[in-house]
Amino acid sequence: MLCRSHQFAVLLTVFVLTAIAGAAQPSAPVRVFILAGQSNMEGQGVVDLDHPQYYNGGKGILQNVMAAPQSAWRYAHIRDAAGAWVERDDVFVRFKVRDGVKHGKLSIGFAGYPGKHHIGPEFQFGHVVGEAFAEPVLLIKTAWGGKSLFADFRPPSAGGATGPFYQQMLAEVDEALKAVPVEFPQLANRALDISGFVWFQGWNDMVNAEARAEYETNLVHLIHDVRQHFEKPKLPVVVGELGNGGRQASEAMRALRQAQWRATARAEFAGTVAFAPTHEFARPAKESPNVGHGHHWYGNAESYFLIGDELGKSMLELLGRKHRVVRDIAYRQEGGADPYQRARCKLDLYLPANADKAPVLVWFHGGGLTAGSKDRVEATGLARFLADRGVMVANVNYRLSPKAKYPAYVEDAAAAVAWALQHAGDYRGDVKRVFVGGHSAGAYLALMVALDPDLLEKHQCRPQQLAGAIPVSGQTDSHWTVRSERGIGRDQQVIDATAPLAHVTAQAPPMLLICADRDLPGRVALNEQLAQAMVKAGHQGTQLHVIPDRNHVSLVTWIAKPQDPTSKRILAFIAD
């Protein structure tokens, strides 16, 4: 046995050797992300101001949005058990404002206004990337209201006078990097790795026809010049869509959005530049605090939170975290003269990282066959969640009524499923494990494709090639939009060739029917009717699950929540 002094000497030696070994190993570099743009990057999302005249009584402010039962889970990470705003120890923010520099741990208040009453995209962006990396994260914001890419941010390679705010943007980033040891002493002595650049801007270019016409090329020049400045030719870049105005945007805004998308879709940027759709996050003025500020998303905190979430997840996709996305794959080649069909018949393919022979889920969004998009947060959230767990997801757009009438959207759905059966293997998916699913109207489409053999046979495919169908809260009689097109009332049940119930067969692929206990009136009964009819027909693989404590919307929006019963059943069904 060692004497006490000898024991102490041995322990001291071990401690010293351990300390030396630790000192010899360089600390992981700080992940630095640059967030640039104009006033919407500055941050206009209202946190807690609720004056009845000036802030619409607090509608759409963060503290009220996060309290809504249907979305409370999404915000659970931003307040601690005592109700205080969380300050992350691993994510830091630096933003030079008019009267000084805001710097500190990520929380609320890193916006262009005094105090801690606003958020910008940095808020949830920081939470998203902070959760993804073990190393610390530093966000450097540089933004000014009322500035254009055409003049103020004009990059050098675009020709003409270089924009003063392009120069100021880079100067502020360089200044921030030099100031790290003073402003963030906990990050001192670590290497600083410029890991990504986020651009969220466009309003001032949109309102100028000349600037709008040049926007695509100017954005391409901006990306090249920023990369050159930081000596990173493949620096990941995310461009946030000018989404104000939502789906009902003006012609000028749509043109600007197209310019943003075209710039990011260039072959030279493949895999390193992403377009982040944001228009689905627009909220009505009457549900927002700043009812006269449409150019600022009406100050709606939910909009800014979701924008930051989308920008963060798009950045992680570029950095190869868990999954990546191939966007806007055309799945219908016929009918090329129809511009509406060309525009709508596209899908986004969410590819699991390092997956080989991954199961494939073709997913159709909801919206009553009259609205909706593969870019809606419910659809993208589900696709990302499943892709992170090894499932390849084809998130599909299809034509909508009244521009298209039955059977156009059903035929689109069949074409998308046939595309997956024939081409998912090109992306390392398993064509022998292709599933079809959707929510609400999307579930109706999934059921029609899985049950009516004529739809897939037009593409030299059969329903029996499918590994299963996963309709979530689907309508099993004729869809009410189909009835409306035929002049039939919504409440009049019709079971004919347009209804999944009319195509019941023992030869259908296995089915996982899911509904909410508080679903739309009659929806559970319709699914029970289909399940009973399938069993009566001799089908051996039909399951029906009614999820407790859910309604028609939360059934799909809560799928990414930890231990969610819906996602657990979907993953188990796919794995079976």
CB-based contact 575:540 (threshold 8 Å): no
Q: At residue 18, does pLDDT exceed 70?
A: no
> Which tops the pLDDT comparison, 542 or 323?
542
pLDDT at 393 over 70: yes
Q: Name the more confident of 185 and 388.
A: 185
User: What pLDDT is recorded for position 133?
Assistant: 87
Q: Kindly state which CATH superfamily the domain 323-575 is placed in.
A: Alpha/Beta hydrolase fold, catalytic domain (3.40.50.1820)
d(CA 244, CA 380): 19
- The mean pLDDT value for 302-308 works out to 97
CA 289: distance to chain centroid?
Answer: 24
Q: What sign does the dihedral 491-496-497-502 (CA atoms) show?
A: positive
User: Are 111 and 98 contacting, i.e. CB atoms less than 8 angstroms apart?
Assistant: no
Rg of the chain over Cα atoms, rounded to whole angstroms, equals 26
Q: Please check the confidence at residue 340 and state whether its pLDDT lies above 50.
A: yes
Report H helices in 109-189. 122-132, 164-178, 180-183
Q: Is the pLDDT of residue 324 over 90?
A: no
Share of the chain above pLDDT 70, in %: 94
Instruction: Please determine, for residue 6, whether its predicted confidence score (pLDDT) is greater than 80.
Output: no
- Tell me: the pLDDT tens digits for 491-522? 889 999 999 999 999 999 999 999 999 999 99
pLDDT digits (tens, 9 = 90+) for 255-284: 999 999 999 999 999 889 999 999 989 999
pLDDT at 86 over 90: yes
| Strand-pair partners of 140 | 34, 94
Task: Please answer whether residues 267 and 229 qualify as being in contact, where contact means their C-beta atoms are separated by less than 8 angstroms.
Answer: no
Section 481-490 average pLDDT = 93
Amino acid identity of 369? Answer: L
Q: What is the 3-state secondary structure (H, E, C) of 21-50?
A: HHHHCCCCCEEEEEEEECHHHHCCEECCCC
Q: Give me the residues paired with residue 198 across strands.
A: 35, 238
| pLDDT value of position 336 | 60
Torsion from C-alpha of 211, 212, 213, 214, nearest 10 degrees: 50
Q: Report the CATH superfamily, name and number, of domain 29-318.
A: SGNH hydrolase (3.40.50.1110)
pLDDT of residue 7: 36
* Structure-token match 């010899």, residue found: 24
The two domains 29-318 and 323-575 share their CATH topology (first three levels equal):
yes
Report whether pLDDT(24) > 80.
no
For residue 335, name the pLDDT band (cuts at 50, 70, 90).
Answer: low
String of b and e for 26-55 (b: at least 16 CB within 10 Å)? eeeebbbbbbbbbbbbbbbbbbbbeeeeeb
Taking the domains of the chain in order of start, what are their residue ranges?
A: 29-318, 323-575
DSSP 85: B
Non-local (6+) Cβ contacts of 292 within 8 A are 285
